[in-house]
């Protein structure tokens, strides 16, 4: 039986970096932005584990966390919003390639 299609996770992973920063920036409360990031990483991590396995899920969560940290470093060079947008695009592309595209690709069928 064929598995029903699932919604891609790349918009959540990439978008949550943007939304998390926006929440922290607008409210002035960094912890609120952190809550957005935590919840998104948790949701994506659970989905990735189910769709592509534990190893790849851990790698993608690590990528997400590294991108978050790098956005702070890159912000000194190009500014906070450009930094968040660049790293969100990288995270979105990586998640599509390593999780979402794998989940929607049909598995090869062995001839009988």
SS3 call for 8 = coil
CA distance 57 to 3: 20
CA distance 23 to 15: 12
Which tops the pLDDT comparison, 47 or 112? 47
Q: What is the pTM of this model?
A: 0.85
pLDDT at 3: 59
Q: Note the pLDDT tens digit of each residue in 46-91.
A: 999 999 999 999 999 999 999 999 999 999 999 999 999 999 999 9
pLDDT at 6: 77
CA distance 107 to 66: 31
Q: Note the pLDDT tens digit of each residue in 2-43.
A: 555 578 999 999 999 999 999 999 999 999 999 999 999 999
CA distance 71 to 52: 26
């Amino acid at each position: 039986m064929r598995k029903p299609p699932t919604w891609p996770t790349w918009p959540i992973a990439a978008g949550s970096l943007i939304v998390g920063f926006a929440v922290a920036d607008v409210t002035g409360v960094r912890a609120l932005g952190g809550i957005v990031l935590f919840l998104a990483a948790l949701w994506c991590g659970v989905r990735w584990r189910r769709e592509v396995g534990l190893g790849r899920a851990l790698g993608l969560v690590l990528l997400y966390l590294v991108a978050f940290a790098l956005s702070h470093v890159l912000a000194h060079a190009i500014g906070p919003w450009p930094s968040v947008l660049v790293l969100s695009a990288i995270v979105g592309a990586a998640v599509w390639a390593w999780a979402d595209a794998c989940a929607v690709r049909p598995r090869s069928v062995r001839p009988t």
